[in-house]
Amino acid sequence: MAIILASKSPRRRELLQTMGIEHFEVRPTSGPETLPAAGASPAETVKAICAGKAAEAARTAAPDDIVIAADTLVFLDGKPLGKPADQADARRMLRALSGRTHTVWTGVAVSKNGRTDIRAVGTEVRFRPMTDAEIDSYVATGEPMDKAGAYGIQGRGCVYIEGIRGDYFNVMGLPVSTLYTMLQAAGNGDEKQP
C-alpha cells in the first residue's frame, strides 16, 4: 500500500509530514480543473474539483493505495478567486479582500479500493485594510502569484490578516484534522499516528 498525494503543493507536502506521514508519493494531476455548473455552492465547487483530481490519480494507483487530493479556493461574495493570472490580477484580488471577510474553502478527497470520501471545509478570514503601497509591496515579493486569493497566511501575507474563524491549516490548503479523520476511516493503520 502506498499513500499518494495528488498535488504539487509544497505546503500540502509539509502538512502531511507535520501529521506524521513520512512516506508518500507525490503524483500531481494534469487534467483541467472544471468548475461545476452555475449555482453550485462553494463547498460543492471545491468538492467537485478535488473529486476530479482524486479520480485522475486513482486511475494510476493500486486498489489498496490511498490517494489524497485537495483543492482550495477563496470565495468573496460567493464568487471564487483562484490563483492570479498576473501581478495586475493579484493587485485586483488584494484590493477586493482589503478590509473585508472572505471564506477559504478546501475540498479534500481520500480514495481507496474504489471508494472515495470527499469533504469540504470552510474557514472565514478577515483582512485588515491595505494601502495601495502595501499591496504593491506585497505583490512585488512574488508570494501572491501561486496562491488562491493572492495571499499566503503562512508567509508574508500574515501581517494583513486580522483574524480567522475555523481551521488555520485549511487556509494553507489542507484541513489536517478533517484529513486525519478521513484517513482513519480509510484504514490507514500503517503510518505513524500523532
Cell 483543492 locates to: 71
Catalytic residue among 71, 77, 117, 190: 71
- Residue 71 known to be catalytic: yes
Q: What backbone torsions phi and psi does residue 184 show, to the nearest 5 degrees?
A: -60, -45
Helix or strand run (H / E) with residue 120: strand 115-127
Vertex 29: Cα angle to 113 and 157 (nearest 5): 115
User: 13: Cβ–Cβ under 8 A, 6 or more apart, which residues?
Assistant: 5, 7, 26
Q: Which of these, 84, 193, 190, lies nearest to 138 by C-alpha position? A: 84
Instruction: Give the C-alpha separation, 115 to 23, whole Å.
Output: 22
User: 101: Cβ–Cβ under 8 A, 6 or more apart, which residues?
Assistant: 124, 125, 126, 127
- Residue by residue, what is the 3-state secondary structure of 38-67? CCCCHHHHHHHHHHHHHHHHHCCCCCCCEE
Q: Which of these, 129, 3, 1, 108, lies nearest to 53 by C-alpha position? A: 108
Active site residues: 71
